[in-house]
Amino acid sequence: MWLPRRVLNDEMAQALKRREQSRADVADVKNRMKIMDRKLETRLKIIGGAAVFAHARVNSVFREELRKVFDATVTRPHDRAILTEFFGELSPADSPPVRPLKSPGGPPSGAAPA
């Protein structure tokens, strides 16, 4: 059966519109999944952290090991300040080392000695 070109153009326009809507729907679902994954990961971190700190409150050996881990890995001053609420003072020696400044005319980092 022969269809006028106008009818075929209308069908094509409708098909293209459905395809774009379908793509938008897929993008929306992907975005909602990403948001859900981030919320789940955040919740897992909160629960895990609470469990670790609860265990550190009742186990002094674990508490000391945890303090050593935080002392060695947490470098930002405002993060370290929060940890002092739980552990007391952290050792200042474990704060990040200060890198020496390069001399202006010196060789680039990693260059072989002359």
pLDDT 10s digits, 18-68:
999 999 999 999 999 999 999 999 999 999 999 999 999 999 999 999 999
Q: What angle do CA 44, 79, 72 make, to 5 degrees?
A: 90
In a domain, 81, yes or no: yes
List the Cα angle 9/11/13 in 5-degree steps. 70
Please check whether residue 104 lies inside any domain of the structure: no
The answer to the question of residue 107 being in a domain is no
pTM: 0.58
Q: Does 37 map to a domain?
A: yes
Same domain, 31 and 42: yes
Give 43's Cβ-side CA count (13 Å radius).
6
* Alpha carbons 36 and 29: distance in angstroms, whole number: 10
**Is 113 domain-assigned?**
no
First to last CA, the chain: 86
- State the total domains in the chain: 2
Decide if 7 is inside a domain.
no
- Whether residue 79 is contained in a domain is answered as yes
Domain presence at residue 110: no
The residue assigned the tokens 């003072």 is 89
Would you state the pLDDT for residue 93? 45
pLDDT above 90 as % of the chain: 56
Which residues constitute the domain of residue 43? 26-58
Alpha-carbon distance values, 1 to 4, 8, 33 (Å): 10, 12, 46
Residue 107: which pLDDT band, with cuts at 50, 70 and 90?
low
88 and 72 fall within a common domain: yes
Residues 86, 76 share a domain: yes
Q: Are residues 30 and 53 in the same domain?
A: yes
